[in-house]
Structure 1
Amino acid sequence: MINKISLLAFLSIGAIYYAQDASVIKNTAEVYSGSNFGGTAKFNSMAGSMGALGGDLSAITVNPAGTGVFITGDVSATLAVQGNKNNSNLFGNSFESSYNNTNLGQAGGVVSFETQNNSPWKFVNLAFNYSTKNIEDYVQTPGNSNIKDAVQYSDSNGNTVDDFLVYNGHAYDRTGTVSNLNVSLGGNYDNRIYLGAGLNFKSAELDQSDFFQLQLQNLGEYAYYNKQYTPYREASNGFSASVGVIGKLNNNIRLGAAIESPTFWNLTRTYVEYGFNTNNSVVSEVFDETRKLTTPMKLTLSGALVASKNFAVNVDYTLGLTKPKYKVQGPAEDQLNDYFSSDYKNISDLRIGAEYRLGGFRLRGGYGIEGNPFDTGSLQSFNSAGTSGSNSYNSLFIGKRQTLAGGLGYDFKSFYVDAGVQSITATYDNPFFGGDYAVTIDNGFSVTDGDGINNSTSIVSEVKNTRTNFFVTVGWKF
Structure 2
Amino acid sequence: MKKIIALFLLMSSSVFAQDITDALRFSTNSINGTARYTAMGGAFGALGGDVSAIQINPASSAIFLNNKFSSSLDLTTISNDSFYGGRLNNSSSSDFDLNQIGAVFVFTSNNESALFQKLTLGFSYNRTNNFNDQYFVSGNNDASISEYFSNFAQGVPLDLLTPRAGESPADLYRFLGENQSFGTQQAFLGYETYIIDALDSSDLNNTEYISNVLGSDFSQSYLEETRGNSGKYTFNAGGMIGQKLHLGLNLNFHFLDYRRTTQFDEFNSGSGVNTIFFDNDLATRGSGFSFQLGGIAKITEGWRLGFTYDSPTWMTISDELLQRLETVRSGNNVAILDSKVLNIYPDYDFKSPGRLSLSTAYVFGGSGLISFDYSYRDFSNMEFTSGGFEGQNQDISSLMTSASTFNIGGEYRIQNTSLRAGYFIKESPYENESFLGDTTGYSFGLGYNFGNTALDFSYQRIEQNRQGILYSTGLTQESEIQSFINNYILTLSFNL
Q: What CA distance in whole angstroms lies between the structure 2 residues aligned with 1:223 and 1:418?
A: 51
Q: What CA distance in whole angstroms lies between the structure 1 residues aligned with 2:146 and 2:66?
A: 73
Q: What CA distance in whole angstroms lies between the structure 1 residues aligned with 2:22 and 2:214?
A: 41
Sort the Cα spacing of 1:186 and 1:73 in 2 relative to 1 into closer, same or farther, 3 A.
same
Contact 1:65–1:187, Cα closer than 8 Å, also in 2: yes
Sort the Cα spacing of 1:375 and 1:98 in 2 relative to 1 into closer, same or farther, 3 A.
farther
Structure-2 residue corresponding to 1:95: 89
Structure-2 residue corresponding to 1:395: 434
The structure in which a higher percent of residues are strand is: 1
Contact 1:150–1:163, Cα closer than 8 Å, also in 2: no
Structure-2 residue corresponding to 1:354: 410
Contact 1:63–1:245, Cα closer than 8 Å, also in 2: yes
Following superposition, the deviation at residue 165 of structure 1 comes to: 6.5
What is the 5 A alignment of 1:62-461?
62-119=56-113, 121-132=116-127, 133-147=129-143, 166-217=218-269, 222-226=275-279, 230-272=280-322, 282=337, 284=339, 285-289=341-345, 290-321=347-378, 323-330=381-388, 333-376=389-432, 394-396=433-435, 398-435=436-473, 455=474, 457-461=475-479
- Superposition CA RMSD, Å: 2.9
Secondary structure of the corresponding residue to residue 473 of structure 1 = strand
Q: Which amino acid aligns with 2:132?
A: E
Q: Which amino acid aligns with 2:50?
A: D
Q: What CA distance in whole angstroms lies between the structure 2 residues aligned with 1:150 and 1:232?
A: 21
Aligned length, in residue pairs: 413
Q: What CA distance in whole angstroms lies between the structure 1 residues aligned with 2:338 and 2:98?
A: 41
Q: What CA distance in whole angstroms lies between the structure 2 residues aligned with 1:162 and 1:423?
A: 46
Following superposition, the deviation at residue 138 of structure 1 comes to: 1.1
Secondary structure of the corresponding residue to residue 44 of structure 1 = helix
Sort the Cα spacing of 1:200 and 1:296 in 2 relative to 1 into closer, same or farther, 3 A.
same
Do residues 52 (structure 1) and 46 (structure 2) align? yes
Contact 1:110–1:128, Cα closer than 8 Å, also in 2: yes
Following superposition, the deviation at residue 52 of structure 1 comes to: 0.1
Following superposition, the deviation at residue 162 of structure 1 comes to: 6.7
Secondary structure of the corresponding residue to residue 59 of structure 1 = helix
Contact 2:445–2:456, Cα closer than 8 Å, also in 1: yes
Contact 2:92–2:135, Cα closer than 8 Å, also in 1: no
| Cα deviation 1:428-467 (Å, max 9, x = unaligned) | 12222442xxxxxxxxxxxxxxxxxxx2x51111100011
Q: Where does the alignment leave 5 or more consecutive residues of structure 2 unmatched?
A: 1-7, 148-193, 196-211, 326-334
Contact 1:375–1:399, Cα closer than 8 Å, also in 2: no
Q: What CA distance in whole angstroms lies between the structure 1 residues aligned with 2:45 and 2:213?
A: 68
| Cα deviation 1:44-100 (Å, max 9, x = unaligned) | 111111000001000010000111000100001101101111111125411111111
Contact 1:299–1:321, Cα closer than 8 Å, also in 2: no
Q: Which amino acid aligns with 1:56?
A: D
The range that moved more, 189-198 or 34-43, is 34-43
Contact 1:349–1:369, Cα closer than 8 Å, also in 2: yes
Secondary structure of the corresponding residue to residue 76 of structure 2 = strand
The range that moved more, 465-474 or 34-43, is 34-43
Q: Which amino acid aligns with 1:431?
A: I
Q: What CA distance in whole angstroms lies between the structure 2 residues aligned with 1:26 and 1:356?
A: 40
Q: What CA distance in whole angstroms lies between the structure 1 residues aligned with 2:133 and 2:245?
A: 42
Structure-2 residue corresponding to 1:438: none
Sort the Cα spacing of 1:476 and 1:213 in 2 relative to 1 into closer, same or farther, 3 A.
same
Q: Where does the alignment leave 5 or more consecutive residues of structure 1 unmatched?
A: 1-9, 154-159, 377-393, 436-454
Structure-1 residue corresponding to 2:487: 469
Following superposition, the deviation at residue 405 of structure 1 comes to: 0.6
Q: Which amino acid aligns with 1:426?
A: Q
Q: What CA distance in whole angstroms lies between the structure 2 residues aligned with 1:201 and 1:425?
A: 29
Q: What CA distance in whole angstroms lies between the structure 2 residues aligned with 1:362 and 1:274?
A: 54
The range that moved more, 230-239 or 460-469, is 230-239
Contact 2:214–2:270, Cα closer than 8 Å, also in 1: no
Provide TM-score, normalisation by structure 2: 0.77
Q: Which amino acid aligns with 2:259?
A: D
Sort the Cα spacing of 1:149 and 1:361 in 2 relative to 1 into closer, same or farther, 3 A.
closer
Following superposition, the deviation at residue 36 of structure 1 comes to: 2.9
Q: What CA distance in whole angstroms lies between the structure 2 residues aligned with 1:35 and 1:283?
A: 36
The structure in which a higher percent of residues are helix is: 2
